[in-house]
Amino acid sequence: MPPLSPFRHAVAGLLAALLPLLAGEPVYRTPSAPLAALVDAPSSPVAVLSPDRTRLLLLDRPEAPSIAELAQAELKLAGLRVNPATNGRSREATYTGLSIQPLDGGPARRVTGLPTGARIAGYEWSRDGRHLALTLVFTQGSALWLVDVAAAATRRLTDPVLNGFFGDPVVWLDNTTLLIRRIPAGRGPAPIEPAVPAGPVVQESKGVRAGARTYDGLLGSPHDEALFDHYGTSELALVTLDGRETVLPVRGLLSSVLPSPDGQHLIVETLQRPYSYLVPSSRFPVTIDVHDRAGRREYRVASLPLNEGSDNGSVRPGPRGVGWRADAPATLSWTQDLGRNAKQPDGKTARDAWFTHPAPFNGKPVEQQRFEYRVTGVQWGDDGLALVSETWTTTRVTRLWNVAPGTPGSARKLLFERKTEDRYRDPGRAATVRNALGRLVLARGPGGRLFFHGQGASPDGDRPFLDELDPATGTTRRLWRSTPPYYEEFVAFLDAGFTRALVSRESATEPLNFLVRDYPNGALTPLTANRNPHPAFNDVRREVVRYQRPDGVPLSGTLYLPPGWTPAQGPLPTLLWAYPREFLDAENASQVKATPERFARVSPTGPLPFTLAGYAVFDDPAMPIIAPKGGKPNDAYVEQLVANAKAAIDELVKRGVTDEKRVAVGGHSYGAFMTANLLAHSTLFRAGIARSGAYNRTLTPFGFQSETRWFWQAPQVYAQMSPFNHANRIKAPILLIHGASDNNSGTFPIQSERFYAALKGHGATARYIVLPHESHGYRARESLLHVLWETETWLATHLAKTASP
């Protein structure tokens, strides 16, 4: 047979592409070339500072995976997603290669010896920075490999025996010994589900309140329990630098293993039965024990019961947040509820107690202090100083205390108190350094002063800062603040005198890179040279827009305009992409988030690509939902949501940017929920795009987002906020997209499925896309391209000047 001509080749290719469409088969589509190019744009490497602060580890991020990779077998067990072939987490972030960048200005060295096709799922520096432990994932499992940093070379330490069911299975005990969670030797095949069930699945409530939010992928049968036991069970083993392995007598569902700073003791958390079909494994019964380095149990910290739910503000009885004191060889630290679970604290009655207990763990634990809110973290300095933070969720009050752990019960000093939603008054977080034990402790300058660094939110946008704080008086002195046109953030000090630091730096036109800053003379030494991954976006104009809601609440957002557009060309079709947030007061709700000095990160799942298709994009315009006097934020959700949207559109129309008859609204997750509500309760928009949302709040009856009331406490709020209940009012076309394997709490795929059925039942114009194998966020290259195509086509169809209103 003679070869086909080029013309016939083209016709044959066109027919091959069209036949699935003509046959009604699902086909992944590709958007216009400028949008498609964004999916394949290279990502900058992830940078990690070495413990000795002389090098940067640069990890290469992979391209978007193929749908074939996402389609691999996956088990959903007790809220975890597991690849049975590797016995590790599925969908976890992995890396394809690594380099070592010296901070003295020398060139980066590529690490050699990695096996072809292996993916780096975990990494951890040794304390001295001479070695790097890698968890490499292969098709048949995960293995431990070692990087000799000086030689920039790798070698294998174990076979693929690591058990990553509960997360990274590798941790250093000291500079020459690693501790691993491994698959038990001689483990047999996975249990097979019986063809005939032995009986029904039975659950029973015995009069105890147990309201839990909705979770994905829970256990649902005895077979699920058997699989959870099979894949989750591991045993501990020591591995030396020469690959010698010593198995320890510690085995079970080891959900967490934390070595003490001196490497001689281990906190081991082991999950126990009975399991639950209502909550994930993090709420299963658990024993918390301390073992010595040989695996012998030394001390039981706690045996905690199943926690299937609780009233707002309460926690599971017993120790929580069990860890090690960072500035001591082996001292336990934990917090414990005092049994006063009132819904609203009075700010005076203690409800949390903080304990420590040093090795050899004899006698009673030491009660350090009592706190009025929930303790959320401890930063260690020495016997004279530790920083303890406490927060209460419903009132959003947070405090930072200066305490002396060497003198339990001594007077503590309040350093900061603010609302968590008050970004302008955020003091930042304390800078740290590594001590001789390799643990992070508070950096102490002359006179014992501390250093705080943060984003520095202000009416002009974020201006990162570095402050010096006297813990005795609580007074601060500003040492440095980022100034336009750059956005620069402190990362870590590099010298004992606290004069040199690793910083990250970017601008509106330059991507983020790492440099060394010398504070006394202001000198900057570049370390990385990341390039703009999407040069086509260079000519997009960006502006922070400020405006007001009709009730006087100041709002802001970031406006992006297509390359080359001028007002003389007339107003543009516009995409408004947002995400509502709840606030307790108008002052904090009006704070500016947009920062013009930051480099625009163009994600294929965000709205910015569509500036390249000729649309104005108003990204993240403020959508505050503010609590009315004496009420909760969501009591006025719909009214405020519509007021926010109208204020945004009015401002863009006033500027001559937007054609008010051609505006689309879109969002992801809670932004999708917002989109559906705006279409149900206003006529402001020509079309909507809702991705991975929840639309019926009776399917999340024990609270959602920042709403802590249960459905039965506020049925009218749940009803009014559910766009499913108002589907008959939606007249504008809406595009629904949802991942078939959404794992986010509350956004089960059935939310979109039933919402689409309601829309279709009422004759609405709607399109419903289910992305195979995708979770709450979309990852596969084919999916990303198709979502761009769907959105581009939807906007072109419904925002065209000839489209019907």
> Pick from 704, 676, 678, 706: which is nearest to 691 by CA?
676
Q: Give the H/E segment covering residue 795.
A: helix 781-798
pLDDT in tens, 347-362: 778 999 999 999 999 9
Q: Give the H/E segment covering residue 671.
A: helix 670-681
pTM score: 0.93
Residue 649 pLDDT level (bands cut at 50, 70, 90): very high
- More confident of the two residues 183 and 629: 183
Residue 9 pLDDT level (bands cut at 50, 70, 90): very low
pLDDT of residue 4: 39
pLDDT in tens, 425-461: 999 999 999 999 999 999 999 999 999 999 999 999 9
pLDDT of residue 804: 63
* Cα–Cα distance for residue pair 611/649, rounded to 1 Å: 17
pLDDT of residue 805: 60
CA 581 vs CA 455, 622, 746: distances in Å: 19, 8, 17
pLDDT of residue 684: 98
239 burial via Cβ count (<10 Å: 0-12, 13-18, 19+) = buried
pLDDT of residue 348: 78
Residue 609 pLDDT level (bands cut at 50, 70, 90): very high
> Is a pLDDT exceeding 80 seen at residue 219?
yes
Would you say 550 and 649 are in contact if contact means Cβ atoms under 8 Å apart? no
> Is a pLDDT exceeding 90 seen at residue 487?
yes
Residue 5 pLDDT level (bands cut at 50, 70, 90): very low
pLDDT of residue 343: 59
Q: Which two tokens mark 729?
A: 């009012």
Which of the residue ranges 22-26, 398-402, 545-549, 680-684 would you say has the lowest mean pLDDT?
22-26
pLDDT of residue 92: 86
CA 132 vs CA 3, 595, 611, 650: distances in Å: 56, 36, 43, 55
Mean pLDDT of 123-128: 96
pLDDT in tens, 732-785: 999 999 999 999 999 999 999 999 999 999 999 999 999 999 999 999 999 999
* Cα–Cα distance for residue pair 437/271, rounded to 1 Å: 29
- More confident of the two residues 566 and 3: 566
pLDDT of residue 571: 97
Cα dihedral: 716, 722, 728, 732 (round 10): 140
Which of the residue ranges 208-212, 383-387, 670-674, 781-785 would you say has the lowest mean pLDDT?
208-212
> Is a pLDDT exceeding 60 seen at residue 13?
no
Q: What is the DSSP secondary structure assignment for residue 68, as one 8-state letter?
A: H
* Cα–Cα distance for residue pair 685/662, rounded to 1 Å: 7
> Is a pLDDT exceeding 60 seen at residue 389?
yes
Mean pLDDT of 676-699: 98
Cα 492 off chain centre by: 22
Amino acid identity, position 230: H
398: helix, strand or coil: strand
pLDDT of residue 411: 94
- More confident of the two residues 524 and 209: 524
User: SS3 for 136-166, per residue?
Assistant: EEECCEEEEEEEECCCCEEEECCCCCECECC
pLDDT of residue 106: 84
Q: What are phi and psi of 119, to 5 degrees?
A: -115, 140
Q: What is the DSSP secondary structure assignment for residue 67, as one 8-state letter?
A: H
17: helix, strand or coil: helix
Strand order through the sheet with 319-324: 319-324, 331-337, 352-358, 366-371
> Pick from 508, 507, 504, 528: which is nearest to 517 by CA?
504
> Pick from 280, 304, 311: which is nearest to 210 by CA?
311
Residue 313 pLDDT level (bands cut at 50, 70, 90): low
Q: Give the H/E segment covering residue 76.
A: strand 75-77
Q: Which two tokens mark 486?
A: 């750059």
CA 511 vs CA 63, 84, 284, 514: distances in Å: 18, 39, 44, 10
pLDDT of residue 26: 83
> Is a pLDDT exceeding 90 seen at residue 211?
no
Calculate the average pLDDT of the chain: 93
* Cα–Cα distance for residue pair 137/88, rounded to 1 Å: 9
* Cα–Cα distance for residue pair 396/313, rounded to 1 Å: 12
> Is a pLDDT exceeding 50 seen at residue 194?
yes
Of all residues in the chain, the percent with pLDDT exceeding 70 is 95
pLDDT of residue 204: 87
Which residues carry out catalysis?
669, 742, 776
Q: Which two tokens mark 464?
A: 């990162």
pLDDT of residue 196: 93
> Is a pLDDT exceeding 60 seen at residue 21?
no
> Is a pLDDT exceeding 60 seen at residue 598?
yes
pLDDT of residue 304: 96
